[in-house]
């Protein structure tokens, strides 16, 4: 049993594209094109006449129907609904049609040119060209098929490009969000560091000021006690008393250095003479007191080193050494009492 169906499309570029799509869908369902005619458009009666009187050119435009493309289709509903050489399976070219299509591409220049036009678009569109043409099996649809394929390929490419742009925008927004989070975290760390360092800096400043004040107080107290000290009870009086006692009643003592390690004649003489050893101990005590009281400790150390070299390099006897010790002890006591170095020896 054979069925017939008639389809109509406006004879416009949009109508041509619609016709190709509809015929492809109908061909996949077993319909075959029997005939195709174009019915010219007609004028719209009284409306066209009125417009022609008023403005003749507009009458042809406003009062004219578009041409109509009429396509007649047929389909066999029996078991042999698909003719030999025209078999289509799910919109794809069957093996028999594939061989026929390859022969057409090889020997038909128009079809070969259409294949070369569609080839840059990709294998998908080349397969669609073969499927559409073998479904219609008419070269008069070839240009419309190619135009429809190019248009759909363009739309698909634009959709892909739009999707890529959207994906890139999403990635850029994500990067911006992550950068904002990183910046906010960095600023938070800076605020935390500034708060901690500011607090510690204030503590350090307070501690430093307190330390300076403590040193100043100790130095002031020492200065006051040193000024208030008199010859009757101060360290100078004590040192002079010890010197007097040594002069009147010498005691057995050891010097301030280790006698087991000396080699020079003078140092051995001091170790062997108890009175000189006592003078050496007294000298060491006076030197420490003077070093604590003087405002020029470096100068005092240099002066003491010169006196020791002078003592060690002399060939004096016990009496001369006693005199040297007495003069040095008096000098150191004056330094301890006055807090300065008026006469360096």
Instruction: Tell me if 33 sits within 8 A of 70, measured CB to CB.
Output: no
Q: How far apart are CA 123 and CA 120, in angstroms?
A: 8
Pairing of strands 2-10, 68-76: antiparallel
- 243 & 319 share domain: yes
Q: With bands split at pLDDT 50, 70 and 90, how would you rate the model's confidence at 331?
A: very high
Residue 154 lies in a domain: yes
Q: How many domains are contained in the chain? A: 3
Domain boundary among 135, 156, 178: 178
Q: What is the mean pLDDT of residues 28-40?
A: 83
Spatial neighbors of 258 by CB under 8 A, at least 6 apart, are none
The HSE-up count of residue 259 (CA atoms within 13 Å, CB side) is: 15
- Confidence band (pLDDT; 50, 70, 90) for 274? very high
Please state, in angstroms and rounded to a whole number, the distance separating the CA atoms of residues 112 and 61.
Answer: 40
Is residue 30 in a domain?
A: yes
Residue 113 pLDDT level (bands cut at 50, 70, 90): very high
Domain membership of residue 210 (yes or no) is no
**Own/partner pairs for 298-305, CB < 8 Å, 24+ apart?**
299/341, 299/344, 300/335, 300/341, 303/341, 303/344, 303/345
* pLDDT at residue number 231: 37
Token digits of residue 284: 């060491």
Q: Tell me, yes or no, whether 278 lies in a domain.
A: yes
Contacts of 316 (CB under 8 A, 6+ apart): 266, 324
What is the span of the domain harbouring residue 285?
Answer: 231-338
According to DSSP, residue 291 is labeled H
3-class SS shares of the chain: helix, strand, coil, % to 5: 70, 10, 20
126-140, 149-163, 192-206, 237-251: which range is least confident on average?
A: 237-251
Contact, 239 vs 333, CB < 8 A?
A: yes
Q: 109 with 26, same domain?
A: no
72-97: per-residue pLDDT in tens?
988 876 543 333 333 334 445 566 77
Specify if 42 maps to a domain.
yes
| Nearest to 341, CA basis, from 298, 285, 283 | 298
Closest CA to 287 of 341, 251, 230: 341
Residues 235 and 321 in one domain: yes
Does the pLDDT of residue 219 top 70, yes or no?
yes
Residues 67 and 111 in one domain: no
Q: In terms of domains, do 248 and 330 share one?
A: yes
Residue 237: band (very low, low, confident or very high) from pLDDT cuts 50, 70, 90: very low
Residue 64 near residue 43 (C-beta atoms within 8 A):
yes
* pTM, full prediction: 0.32
């Amino acid at each position: 049993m054979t069925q017939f169906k008639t389809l109509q499309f406006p004879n416009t570029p949009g109508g041509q594209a619609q016709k190709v799509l509809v015929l492809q869908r109908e061909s996949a369902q077993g319909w075959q094109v029997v005939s195709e005619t174009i019915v010219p458009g007609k004028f719209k009666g009284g409306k066209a006449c009125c417009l022609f009187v008023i403005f003749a050119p507009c009458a042809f435009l406003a009062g004219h129907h578009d041409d109509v493309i009429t396509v007649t289709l047929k389909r066999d509903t029996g078991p042999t609904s698909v003719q030999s050489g025209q078999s289509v399976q799910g919109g794809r070219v069957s093996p028999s049609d594939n061989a026929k299509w390859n022969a057409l591409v090889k020997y038909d220049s128009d079809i070969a040119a259409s294949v070369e036009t569609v080839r840059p678009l990709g294998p998908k569109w080349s397969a669609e060209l073969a499927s559409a043409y073998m479904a219609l099996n008419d070269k008069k649809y070839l240009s419309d098929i190619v135009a429809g394929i190019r248009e759909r390929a363009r739309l698909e490419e634009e959709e892909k490009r739009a999707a890529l742009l959207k994906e890139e925008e999403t990635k850029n927004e994500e990067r911006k969000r992550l950068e904002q989070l990183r910046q906010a975290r960095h600023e938070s760390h800076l605020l935390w560091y500034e708060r901690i360092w500011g607090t510690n800096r204030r503590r350090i400043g307070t501690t430093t000021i307190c330390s300076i004040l403590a040193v100043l107080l100790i130095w002031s107290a020492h200065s006051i006690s040193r000024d208030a000290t008199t010859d009757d009870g101060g360290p100078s009086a004590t040192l002079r008393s010890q010197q007097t006692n040594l002069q009147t009643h010498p005691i057995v003592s050891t010097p301030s250095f280790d006698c087991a390690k000396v080699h020079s004649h003078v140092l051995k003489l001091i170790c062997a003479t108890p009175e000189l050893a006592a003078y050496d101990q007294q000298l060491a005590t006076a030197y420490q007191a003077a070093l604590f009281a003087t405002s020029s400790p470096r100068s005092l150390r240099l002066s003491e080193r010169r006196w020791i070299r002078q003592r060690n390099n002399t060939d004096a006897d016990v009496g001369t050494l006693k005199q040297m010790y007495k003069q040095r002890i008096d000098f150191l006591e004056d330094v301890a009492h006055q807090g300065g170095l008026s006469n360096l020896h």
